[in-house]
Structure 1
Amino acid sequence: MVRSHAKLTLGPLNFHWPAAVRRDFYARIADEAPVDTVVLGEVVCSKRAPFFDSHIPEVAERLRRAGKEVVLGSLALVMQARERQAVLDLAADSDILVEANDLTAVAACAGRPHAIGPLVAVYNPGTLELMARQGATRVCLPGELTADAITALSRTALVTGTEIEVQAFGRLPLAISARCYHARAHGLHKDGCRYVCEKHPDGMDLDTLDGTPFLAVNGVQTLSGSYLDLLADVGPLSTLGVGRFRLSPQDCDMVAVAETFRAVLDGDVPVAPAQQRLRNLCPGRRFSNGFLHGVEGKSYRASVRGV
């Protein structure tokens, strides 16, 4: 059996889980999950950072001992002087790879090796070339790109020597706002939010006025209402030059999710039973891959030859 060279990345935890729950989560990831890289750090709301920042060195060390690469993600929306300083401090740490999630961090990391997160709009080869010239060695592409766009970017990446990563599981990050939707939904202001986002460890589902499931809210972040599932697409995408696939943490058994994707990538399990297992791991959730196939993002399309 020929094993796939594609790697798995566990993306940053978007949700506000209690610190003890996070520590236990990452301990299990370190000990059991077949992922190559783990992105740590608060990327959504700087108000949440103090709850877990002090635990990051210990968690990172445990992940490294388990053979995982550790990457630190930057904040996705920088609005205050203290947030800008936090990004600058992060970029100044030469001992760890930083994933830049907005242009503040991109500028701060210029001239040193770094990664680019999916909230930075790398939509075309010219942007990818610019990021590579500034030191980006890895780019996780935005989730709304089609297979044709990913193919074009992968060809450019071969020239620039940049790793291409694509999210393959979990709610897609769609937008960040200065407003806290979570607080407003609970009759609170952003400055006095009482951290109500902790009530929804998987995001707060939203419906349209006629009751149709739509999106999800996570504090100041807007996410897809469905879970992305590229199990049927990771094989074709890897042949197109995608070297990494990102699993976004959700409130489910992420070790089992990682095992399922690894088994499909390595050819140990056919796609159909793997997809059934994934759905059993996430009961009641809708799945989608529409953006990849050039249709509405909320839909699901069976993979075809070459995606």
Structure 2
Amino acid sequence: MDLTVGPNPFFWDAPVVRSFYDSLAAAPVSRVVLGEVVCSKRLPFWQDEIAPAVEGLLAAGKAVAITTLALVTLKRERKATAALREIGLPIEVNDLTGLHALPAKTPFWVGPLINVYNEGTLRWLAGRGAQRVCLPPELPLELIAVLARLGAELGVAIEVWGHGRLPLAISGRCYHARLHDHAKDSCQFVCGLDPDGRDVETLDGQKFLVVNGVQTLSQSTASMAYQIEVLREAGVNALRLSPQSTHFLEICEAYAARLTGDLTAADLEALLAPRVPGGRLSDGFVRGPAGAEWSGKGLASAG
């Protein structure tokens, strides 16, 4: 089992993006997915950082892929998606419309925003050219094991969401803009004010979800700290780590140490707790009765 870094879901300015990917060149991860996955309006602000990031990561021995958007709705977005194959890197599909840009049997990766819930879907994607599939984060261990076994038969590497706020929904409306009384078309990019998303509270003040532009995320940070052994036994090939604005290199190093046995689950929990946004962890979709549950003893479950 090794580590994959997924695409950054948040809106960071170009110098922050540059520093982030420079640091990843030294991270103990095997592959990195780059590109804009949430909102196409953000891309012009940092797209010039993609080429040097790819060059640096490839030079450091990482495999690199480029993601599609999670929701392709506009003509310019369809054209931009079609143009991704000209980059010459594997494409990670996070919206099935991206397959229209790929000739049959072209190798590609599948991101966690594609609903791969059963063997039939996995077989179809493998037949279409899928080489790697990151499963949706809401799957229980039993189904993960079934799909990992089938992936091994089909020659498709199976990843599981290992760290990060969970991507729960994507919308045509921008929650961030609405919170600031802006229309979506004149959003003024207020999502950039919240580099790890903005908390949403219930009417009685309980932190519940996080909004990130047009995306809804979990308020807690999902972590497979206590699930490494069962996921490895199930045949999972990689854990996916989703970027956050601080401490990310340290987090990558900690997960790598957990995979090698140099850190225990409790050690990793202790390291993560003060370093994740909001300080809450969860892993309930894999083993618990609800996604917000947490296997560890040091933290209360979160939403």
Alignment TM class, shorter chain as reference? over 0.9
- 2:91 — aligned with what? 98
Shift of 1:300: 0.8
- 2:300 — aligned with what? none
2:154 alignment partner, one of 152, 156, 160: 160
1:248 alignment partner, one of 242, 245, 262: 242
Separation of aligned partners in 1, 2:277 and 2:146: 36
1:235 corresponds to 2:224 = no
Determine if contact 1:91/1:105 at 8 Å carries over to the other structure. no
2:267 alignment partner, one of 267, 273, 283: 273
Note the 1:1-307 alignment, pairs <5 A.
6-30=1-25, 32-93=26-87, 95-109=88-102, 110-282=104-276, 284-302=278-296
Separation of aligned partners in 1, 2:221 and 2:117: 22
Over the aligned positions, Cα root-mean-square deviation in angstroms equals 1.3
Q: Secondary structure at the match of 1:159?
A: helix
Shift of 1:235: 2.3
Give a deviation string over 1:132-167, Cα, whole Å, max 9, x none: 000000000000000011011111112111000011
Give a deviation string over 1:16-57, Cα, whole Å, max 9, x none: 001101101110111x31111111100100000111112211
Shift of 1:284: 4.0
Gaps of 5+ in 1: 1-5
The residue type paired with residue 243 of structure 1 is N
Separation of aligned partners in 2, 1:103 and 1:269: 38
Give a deviation string over 1:76-108, Cα, whole Å, max 9, x none: 101111100111111354x21110001111333
Shift of 1:240: 0.8
Separation of aligned partners in 2, 1:278 and 1:193: 33
Shift of 1:294: 4.3
Separation of aligned partners in 1, 2:191 and 2:204: 24
**Structure 2 length as normaliser, TM-score?**
0.95
Separation of aligned partners in 2, 1:295 and 1:222: 21
The residue type paired with residue 227 of structure 2 is D
Determine if contact 2:221/2:276 at 8 Å carries over to the other structure. no
Q: Secondary structure at the match of 1:252?
A: coil
Separation of aligned partners in 2, 1:170 and 1:238: 19
Determine if contact 2:196/2:277 at 8 Å carries over to the other structure. no
The residue type paired with residue 178 of structure 1 is G
**Structure 1 length as normaliser, TM-score?**
0.94
Paired-residue identity, %? 47
Separation of aligned partners in 2, 1:209 and 1:99: 38
Determine if contact 2:119/2:147 at 8 Å carries over to the other structure. yes
Shift of 1:252: 1.9
Shift of 1:258: 0.6
Separation of aligned partners in 2, 1:224 and 1:57: 31
Gaps of 5+ in 2: 298-303
Separation of aligned partners in 2, 1:201 and 1:283: 10
- 1:3 — aligned with what? none
Give a deviation string over 1:224-281, Cα, whole Å, max 9, x none: 1100011111222012110010000012211110111110100112221121011132
The residue type paired with residue 152 of structure 2 is L
Give a deviation string over 1:108-128, Cα, whole Å, max 9, x none: 334200000000100001100
Give a deviation string over 1:196-235, Cα, whole Å, max 9, x none: 0000000001011111111100000010110001111122
The residue type paired with residue 29 of structure 1 is L
Determine if contact 2:37/2:94 at 8 Å carries over to the other structure. yes
